[in-house]
């Protein structure tokens, strides 16, 4: 019996940890909130399972048996709800989820009655096993149907996913499948089928698979550079708790066999734990570094920093490539002027007016080309913020000019609505140009080769307002809180750094950026810069 009690306590620790990790973004992510709730039900069920099996009298055993069954009533509905969010099925499964929660609530209300659990009885080597009421078989059918369908949804999502998304879903699918199969081994003894619930310990596989997917593959958008103090502390606390339970259970067995209570046994066990704690900690560190993170924590941190710099550089080069296309058109005009004047120079070399005009115009055109190339170099090369008095309308117009060929190619109309009363602000023109360029590129991609971009400027109090509005497909409501987060992208092949860089540039200027959007109606980005 002690093995089964210990399995309940281990399951409790695992799902408590999984729920807390998911809760890092509890307020932001609906899917995180639902998984935290699901983990709560499993954790409390596991803890009740532990107390039920160590209960010395029938009355307390019945209380904990009813309590753990109360928690199990909501596990299928919460798991279905979570899988629905995780696999983006929520538009079609809303009624089914509501029905699942309704059934769970009805069963939960019936727990105090004998319809679900009518008492406890001796079963194999369990002193107080729950005796099923007439409706318990209905719960088993409900559990099997909802959990089975949810795992089928997970499997379908896993098979259809690609890249990192496939890695994110692989572990929840296999872990949930094994975990629920293990948990289901508790059912046979309710109907005198002599199969002990040895599989109960497999429930932890589900929680551990989610923890691994969250930490290793950013499942549920958990973005942690896991520190030693965090992961090692969790693991050491987990192992120590398990050791403590083993000691307590071993002492109870010892008391039953020998017939006396010995404080020396407890002190000796505590001393042994302390003695082996440091080597155990080192073994855990080695195991985690080698098999869980595929390297040391210092190496992982350096690798993450390197990856961030590479992705930022990639995003910058993408913007530079777009600028280069626009600049090709900008350079073409002055080159045409230079070519024309050069072709006629041999014939009109003796003409003093022509030579003066040649020198002036060609010199201006060369300066123009030099400025365009210098702007590109300044844009491509990361530099500290250099504030100076700048005309916001010139910055916008220069950026629009570089994208003019893209607008024509994609049949995009640009409308300007400027307030010229006070366009001057303290800003870094190159950085603001990069921010506006990224927003315009974002709008172009959202409109899919046709639409209108409207740019508005106005002054409110001590702020200059710049609005960039498009008529694109809009942003889904669930994505809005995270569009400025690094690496968060809904585009295939996107790095998730474009809008993050915009946000960083605006913050550097002590400004703010907000977004308003409606599905299939467009998006408005509003920048507020201090005057």
Per residue in 156-213, pLDDT (tens digit) is 888 887 777 787 888 889 989 999 999 999 999 888 888 888 888 889 888 888 888 8
Same domain, 403 and 450: yes
Residue 303 lies in a domain: no
For Cα atoms 509, 512, 515, give the angle at the middle one, nearest 5 degrees.
Answer: 140
Residue 86 within any structural domain of the chain: yes
The verdict on 314 and 366 lying in the same domain is yes
Looking at the structure of the chain, the number of domains it has is: 4
Residue 505: give its domain's CATH number.
Answer: 3.30.565.10
Q: What is the pLDDT of residue 480?
A: 74
| Whether residue 170 is found in the same domain as residue 314 | no
- Whether 368 and 508 share a structural domain: no
Q: Does residue 233 belong to any structural domain of this protein?
A: yes
Q: What is the pLDDT of residue 142?
A: 94
Task: Please report, for the chain, how many H helices and E strands are present, in that order.
Answer: 16, 9
pLDDT of the residue at 74 = 94
Alpha helix (H) ranges present in 381-413? 392-402, 404-409
Please choose, from the candidates 75, 191, 73, 182, the residue with its C-alpha nearest in 3D space to the C-alpha of residue 130: 191
Domain containing residue 155: CATH number = 1.20.1070.10
Residue 62 lies in a domain: yes
What are the residues whose beta carbons fall under 8 Å from the beta carbon of 229, sequence distance 6 or more?
none
Which domain-ending residue is among 353, 382, 411?
382
Rounded Cα gap, residues 238 and 94, in angstroms = 37
Q: At what angle do helices 228-258 and 263-287 cross, to 10 degrees?
A: 150
Same domain, 258 and 163: no
Of 269, 295, 321, the residue at which a domain comes to its end is 295
Burial of 439 (0-12, 13-18, 19+ CB in 10 A): buried
Residue 346 corresponds to which tokens in the numbers above? 């041999």
H or E element: which one contains 214? helix 203-217
User: Is residue 326 domain-shared with residue 267, that is, in the same domain?
Assistant: no
> Does 360 lie in the same domain as 499?
no
Burial string for 155-184 (b: 16+ CB within 10 Å, else e) reads bebbeeeeeeeebbbbbbbbbbbbbbbbbb
181 domain residue, yes or no? yes
- Cα 137 versus chain centre, distance: 39
The verdict on 321 and 199 lying in the same domain is no
Q: Do residues 67 and 49 lie in contact, with contact meaning Cβ atoms separated by under 8 Å? A: no
Same domain, 140 and 238: no
CB atoms within 10 A of CB 284: 16
Distances (CA, A) of 132 to 117, 144, 189, 263: 5, 17, 10, 40
Q: Are 48 and 68 in contact (CB under 8 A)?
A: yes
192: phi > 0 → left, psi -120 to 50 → alpha, else beta; which? Answer: left
> How far is 36 from 489, CA to CA, in rounded Å?
24
Question: Are 47 and 5 within 8 A, CB to CB?
Answer: no
Whether residues 245 and 328 share a domain: the answer is no
Low-confidence stretches of the chain (pLDDT < 50) are 26, 90-91, 224-229, 260, 492-493, 495
Same domain for 91 and 231?
Answer: no
pLDDT at site 242: 56
- The answer to the question of residue 302 being in a domain is no
Last residue of a domain, one of 181, 207, 224: 224
Backbone angles phi, psi at 111, to 5 degrees: -55, -45
Distance CA(152)–CA(141), nearest Å, equals 16
Helix H or strand E segment including 123: strand 117-123
| Residues contacting 28, CB < 8 A, separation 6+ | 481, 482
pLDDT on residue 237: 56
Domain limits at 425?
A: 385-531
| Beta-ladder partners of 415 | 454
183 and 54 part of one domain: yes
CB 41 within 8 A of CB 75: yes
Residue 480: Cβ within 10 Å count: 14
């Amino acid at each position: 019996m002690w093995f089964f009690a210990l399995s309940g306590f281990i399951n409790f620790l695992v799902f408590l940890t999984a729920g807390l990790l998911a809760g890092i973004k509890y307020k932001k992510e609906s899917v995180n909130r639902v998984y935290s709730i699901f983990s709560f039900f499993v954790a409390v069920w596991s803890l009740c399972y532990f107390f039920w099996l160590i209960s010395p009298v029938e009355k307390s055993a019945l209380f904990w048996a009813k309590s753990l069954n109360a928690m199990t009533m909501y596990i299928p509905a919460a798991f279905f709800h979570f899988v629905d969010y995780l696999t983006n099925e929520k538009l079609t499964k809303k009624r089914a989820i509501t029905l699942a929660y309704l059934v769970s609530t009805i069963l939960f209300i019936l727990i105090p009655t004998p319809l679900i659990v009518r008492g406890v009885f001796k079963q194999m080597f369990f002193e107080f096993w729950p005796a099923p009421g007439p409706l318990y078989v209905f719960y088993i059918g409900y559990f099997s149907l909802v959990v089975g369908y949810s795992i089928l949804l997970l499997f379908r999502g896993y098979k259809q996913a690609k890249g990192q998304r496939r890695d994110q879903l692989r572990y929840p699918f296999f872990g949930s499948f094994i975990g629920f199969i293990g948990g289901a081994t508790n059912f046979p003894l309710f109907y005198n089928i002599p199969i002990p619930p040895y599989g109960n310990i497999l429930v932890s596989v589900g929680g551990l698979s989610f923890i691994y997917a969250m930490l290793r593959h950013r499942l549920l958008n958990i973005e942690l550079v896991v520190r030693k103090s965090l992961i090692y502390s969790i693991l050491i606390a987990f192992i120590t708790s398990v050791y403590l339970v083993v000691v307590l259970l071993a002492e109870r067995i010892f008391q039953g066999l020998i017939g006396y209570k010995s404080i020396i046994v407890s002190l000796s066990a505590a001393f042994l734990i302390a003695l082996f704690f440091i080597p155990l900690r080192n073994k855990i560190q080695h195991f985690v570094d080698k098999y869980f993170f595929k390297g040391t924590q210092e190496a992982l941190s350096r690798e993450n920093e390197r990856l961030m710099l590479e992705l930022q550089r990639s995003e910058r080069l993408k913007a530079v490539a777009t600028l280069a296309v626009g600049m090709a058109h900008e350079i073409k005009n002055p080159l045409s002027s230079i070519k024309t004047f050069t072709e006629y120079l041999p014939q009109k070399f003796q003409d003093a007016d022509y030579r003066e005009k040649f020198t002036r115009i060609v010199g201006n055109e060369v300066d123009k080309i030099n400025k365009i190339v210098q702007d590109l170099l300044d844009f491509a090369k990361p530099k500290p913020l250099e504030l100076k008095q700048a005309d916001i309308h010139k910055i916008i117009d220069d950026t629009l000019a570089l994208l003019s060929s893209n607008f024509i190619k994609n049949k995009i109309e640009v409308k300007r609505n400027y307030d010229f009363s006070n366009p001057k602000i303290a800003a870094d023109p190159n950085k603001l140009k990069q921010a506006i360029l990224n927003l315009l590129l974002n709008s172009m991609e959202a409109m899919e080769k046709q639409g209108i971009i409207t740019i508005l400027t106005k002054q409110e109090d001590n702020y200059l307002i710049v609005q960039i509005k498009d008529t694109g497909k809009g942003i889904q409501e669930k994505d809005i809180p995270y569009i400025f987060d690094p690496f968060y992208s809904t585009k295939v092949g996107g790095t998730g750094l474009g809008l993050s860089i915009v946000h960083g540039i605006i913050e550097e200027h002590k400004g703010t950026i907000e977004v308003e959007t409606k599905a299939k109606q467009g998006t408005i980005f509003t920048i507020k810069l201090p005057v």
